[in-house]
Amino acid sequence: VGAFSSFLSRKMTGRRFVTFKKELENFFRSLPGVGENLLSVLRRSEDSFITFFTPGMLFEAFKFKYVGPINGHRIDQLIKTFKNIRHLTGPVLVHVLTVKGKGYEPAEKDPAHFHGVGCFEITTGSPQQRSDKPIPTYTEVFGQTMVDLGNSDDKLFAITAAMPEGTGLIPFSEIFPDRFLDVGIAEQHAVTFAAGLAVEGFRPVVAIYSTFLQRAYDQVIHDVCLPNLPVVFAIDRGGLVGEDGPTHHGHFDITYLRTLPNMTLMAPKDENELRHMLYTALHHQGPVAIRYPRGKALGVPLDRDYRLLPVGKWEVIQEGPDLAIIALGSMVATAMEAAKKLERDGIGVTVVNCRFVKPLDSRVVQLAKDTKRIVVVEENVRSGGLGSAILEQLNDQGVVETKVRRIGLPDKFIEHGPLAVLRQRYGLDAEGIYRVAQELCSSDA
């Protein structure tokens, strides 16, 4: 922060200067004939003087009173500035400069990495490695898949909104800089730009956090779904995100996307399926959203070759006569754990990987008729989610005898907390699924 600029900001917002300025302007206005001309010269001179030393003239042009820049790490200067501007009328913009990670050298040198980190060595800032071969995150698998597919498809184009590292696109951006764009914190522009690329024959992938896609909902509808353009939305942080808290949980996306005409909505059960989903999405003629969670993947082996998944077809992992658990994405592995507990009680369980939320697999109707009991598990709000979609389908087909229980998140903003704690609290762990399923089976025994 420039010393003179900081000094100027403090002085020009002081009560004495503001009072003197008003009195001088009134004096010029009182001069017959030449007053307004002199006042105009005075204002231009002031503007030129301020522009030379401070960056705030853009805001002054919009009638904001600009103050700054100010060192945001000097509490005394901030207090003095805020006291000075209390008497000002109209909108005031205070320009404060801070250093991300101030006081911790590794964070100051690499602010992007330290935007959100897990455990790390305090002396070096290096992440802690908990095994010789760490399991990759879903984000890392997505990023590597983009590189793989980018090598064979020169029309593949990656877009992010100020989150190249958070969405795993750094490797793609380094290898294919001409097919990568970070639009900054402008999610609406990211979506509309992707639509424009699709019109020109590219295969754009918008990599974005679930919570941030909400900002571009109108563009998803109007610019992508309405013209039915082949834009892929790689939705990271779908579901609960734990320590990032209520502003970052991605538990509304299933609800707000499945209602859109032309949209195909997928969620992988593991990292291998994520790769095949991205490959499938890039061969689909229309909008596709792939929703996957934050954090470590399951560590399953990855197929060498990619394959197309049949759109709208679920995967039946195991079959049993007494109950069907239909699980979405990250909940599939948890549903399998619950199924093992139920089988020890003598309950035969069908477990379904609902990898397509839209279109729904039409086989759900026959499944409901065969088992008479369904438990739907999703890391999304229950309102309008997968469970709602299944109930709508059964109602439309006149299936009224089947009992359906929905396990999902309640109609509220979910608090901050470790993932394991939150999942246990809201019944999204194996024990929670087991209890609901057991109660459903015993209710008509």
Q: CB 187: neighbour CB atoms within 10 A?
A: 24
- Among candidate residues 10, 74, 155, 215, the one labeled active-site is 215
3-class DSSP state for residue 395?
A: helix
| Angle of the 331-344 helix axis to the 430-442 helix axis, nearest 10 | 50
The yes-or-no answer on residue 108 being catalytic is: no
The yes-or-no answer on residue 100 being catalytic is: yes
The full DSSP string for 79-94 is HHHHHHHTT--S-EEE
What's the distance, CA 198 to chain centroid?
22
Radius of gyration of the chain (CA): 28
Residue type, 420: A
**Spatial CA neighbour of 400 closest among 389, 391, 408:** 391
> What sign does the dihedral 397-400-402-403 (CA atoms) show?
positive
Contact 181, 189 (CB under 8 A): no
Residue 297 tokens, joined = 């993947």
Between CA 263 and CA 271 the distance in angstroms is 22
- Among candidate residues 187, 273, 378, 379, the one labeled active-site is 187
- Among candidate residues 11, 29, 83, 100, the one labeled active-site is 100
Between CA 185 and CA 71 the distance in angstroms is 24
What letter would DSSP give residue 127?
Answer: B
The yes-or-no answer on residue 25 being catalytic is: no
Residue 299 tokens, joined = 């560590």
Contact 291, 210 (CB under 8 A): yes
- For the annotated catalytic residues, the residue numbers are 100, 187, 215
